[in-house]
Amino acid sequence: GDSVTQMEGPVTLSEEAFLTINCTYTATGYPSLFWYVQYPGEGLQLLLKATKADDKGSNKGFEATYRKETTSFHLEKGSVQVSDSAVYFCALRLTQGGSEKLVFGKGTKLTVNP
Amino acid sequence: DSGVTQTPKHLITATGQRVTLRCSPRSGDLSVYWYQQSLDQGLQFLIQYYNGEERAKGNILERFSAQQFPDLHSELNLSSLELGDSALYFCASSASQGGETQYFGPGTRLLVL
């Protein structure tokens, strides 16, 4: 079935380090792909998205490129900050006949130390 | 602030009881989605409503039910609660029945003792 696999955490980095969180998916058809972020004690916020192959989503210094050939949507940031500490979720959107659902990965907890 | 509100923020109850979680979507959004976040299952889609009608069902137990009212707010009813129902329940909303970004509320944390 449709699924998302993302790298297990937790990930601990120093400020200004480079971040990569891997995400691969299995889906029939051509799903849209998302990264959501959950800060401590809060709900999920949309970080970025890509709706078709080769699209690059970007926001707040984060980027991810929709790679159909490798079924991947890896999240990257060149220089992380302490304020980026959160849980990051990769998700795909399945839309069919007037219905829709998001399928999430298990989440990757990122801690950035000063 | 996503514009999606959920009440209550926290709920503590006992096994066998019934609770109702409430969600108000963003102004103008017609679709409401419910998700469950637990340590063992992760984030799972439960159900979608669009303009008062059920549109999609995920891994929702028979003990759980939902509805969307004419003013577009939604309620998730959980009955015969078990310890394993303890989780964070999120509501999300989007403008249409599919293809638009889903915006999430802050969640309701349910603890079943």
- Encoded tokens for A104: 């999430």
Distances (CA, A) of B100 to A1, A34, B22, B92, B93: 23, 12, 22, 12, 9
**What is the average per-residue pLDDT within A12-31?**
94
Q: How far apart are CA B18 and CA A14, in angstroms?
A: 46
In this prediction, residue A70 has a pLDDT band, given cuts at 50, 70 and 90, of: very high
Q: How far apart are CA B26 and CA B34, in angstroms?
A: 14
Please report the pLDDT score of residue B84 as a whole number. Answer: 94
Please report the pLDDT score of residue B68 as a whole number. Answer: 97
The interface residues of chain A toward chain B in range 15-74, judged by CB-CB distance below 8 A, are: 36, 42-46, 49
Q: Does pLDDT of A89 surpass 80?
A: yes
Pair B47, B58: CB distance under 8 Å:
yes
Please report the pLDDT score of residue A111 as a whole number. Answer: 97
Query: Residue type for A27, please?
Result: A
Look at the block and give the residue holding tokens 């080769």. Answer: A54
In this prediction, residue A56 has a pLDDT band, given cuts at 50, 70 and 90, of: very high
* Alpha-carbon torsion, ordered B22, B24, B30, B35, to 10 deg: -50
Pair B3, B91: CB distance under 8 Å:
no
Contact A107 B42 (CB under 8 A): yes
Q: Does pLDDT of A57 surpass 90?
A: yes
CB of A95 within 8 Å of any CB in chain B?
Answer: yes
Pick the more confident residue, B12 or A100: B12
Percent of chain B, pLDDT > 90?
Answer: 84
Facing residues of A86 across strands? A110
Per residue in B39-59, pLDDT (tens digit) is 888 899 999 999 999 999 998
Q: Does pLDDT of B97 surpass 80?
A: no
In this prediction, residue B69 has a pLDDT band, given cuts at 50, 70 and 90, of: very high
Contact A105 B105 (CB under 8 A): no
In this prediction, residue A98 has a pLDDT band, given cuts at 50, 70 and 90, of: confident
Give the nearest partner residue to A44 out of B48, B99, B104, using CB atoms.
Answer: B104
Pair A30, A52: CB distance under 8 Å:
yes
Please report the pLDDT score of residue A101 as a whole number. Answer: 83
Look at the block and give the residue holding tokens 């690059």. Answer: A56
Give the nearest partner residue to B55 out of A43, A49, A99, using CB atoms.
Answer: A99
Query: Residue type for A34, please?
Result: F
Residue B83 is classified by DSSP as G
Distances (CA, A) of B65 to A91, B48, B70, B77: 24, 11, 17, 5
In this prediction, residue B67 has a pLDDT band, given cuts at 50, 70 and 90, of: very high
Average pLDDT over chain A reads 93
Please report the pLDDT score of residue B16 as a whole number. Answer: 97
Please report the pLDDT score of residue A99 as a whole number. Answer: 79
Q: Does pLDDT of B81 surpass 90?
A: yes
